[in-house]
């Protein structure tokens, strides 16, 4: 059984559990359930982003934490890891490598996210420093202009 079959088996298991609960009203098998799950997730994320845009200014929206592709990958890989780990022991050996690889990819994505955040912090600090330099240079320029104007006024009086 390949990885795709294992994933679809996990969705079949989820569909079976949902069928047992009458409040879910599930009548389909794994693949349509997976498609429906992905559609609902996409709709939820787009609605969440839209509500963020509507609830504040553009700057506030930019500052809010956005759901990145890495985070989506992390959610999917963790769900796959959970599905693989719940598979019976005899089949689990086949997926041991995949489980280890998924864990490694999650760790790498987390490290990359931390690195990106650190780089963004450095970039913001540099931009702040440049802005402070610009303001100081502007103050010096204004002071020089003020002194120059005072000298011109003094010269005109004499």
**Average pLDDT score over the chain:** 76
Higher-pLDDT residue of 77 and 114 is 114
Label residue 1 by pLDDT band (50, 70, 90).
very low
Residue range 46-75: average pLDDT? 62
Q: What is the pLDDT of residue 29?
A: 67
Give residue 25's region: left, alpha or beta (phi > 0; psi -120 to 50).
left
Q: Please write the tens of the pLDDT for every residue from 93-111.
A: 666 777 788 888 889 989 9
Residue range 113-136: average pLDDT? 94
Label residue 24 by pLDDT band (50, 70, 90).
low
Contacts of residue 53, defined as CB under 8 A and 6 or more positions apart, other chains included, come to 61
What is d(CA 74, CA 71) in angstroms, rounded to the nearest whole number? Answer: 5
Label residue 51 by pLDDT band (50, 70, 90).
low
Give residue 154's Cα distance to chain centre. 62
Kindly tell me if the per-residue pLDDT of 139 is higher than 90.
Answer: yes
Q: Do you know the residue count of the chain?
A: 158
Kindly tell me if the per-residue pLDDT of 85 is higher than 50.
Answer: yes
Kindly tell me if the per-residue pLDDT of 65 is higher than 60.
Answer: no
Q: What is the pLDDT of residue 17?
A: 72
């Amino acid at each position: 059984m390949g990885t795709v079959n294992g994933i679809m088996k996990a969705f079949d298991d989820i569909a079976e559990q949902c069928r047992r609960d009458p409040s879910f009203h599930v009548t389909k098998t794994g693949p349509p359930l997976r498609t429906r799950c992905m559609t609902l997730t996409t709709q939820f994320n787009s609605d969440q982003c839209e509500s963020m845009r509507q609830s504040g200014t553009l700057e506030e929206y930019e500052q809010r934490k956005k759901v990145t592709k890495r985070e989506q990958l992390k959610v999917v890989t963790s769900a796959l890891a959970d599905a693989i780990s719940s598979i019976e022991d005899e089949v689990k050996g086949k997926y041991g490598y995949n489980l280890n690889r998924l864990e490694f990819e999650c760790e790498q994505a987390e490290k990359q996210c931390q690195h990106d955040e650190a780089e963004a912090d450095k970039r913001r600090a540099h931009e702040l420093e440049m802005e402070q330099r610009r303001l100081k240079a502007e103050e010096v320029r204004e002071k020089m202009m003020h002194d120059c104007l005072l000298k011109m006024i003094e010269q005109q009086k004499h």
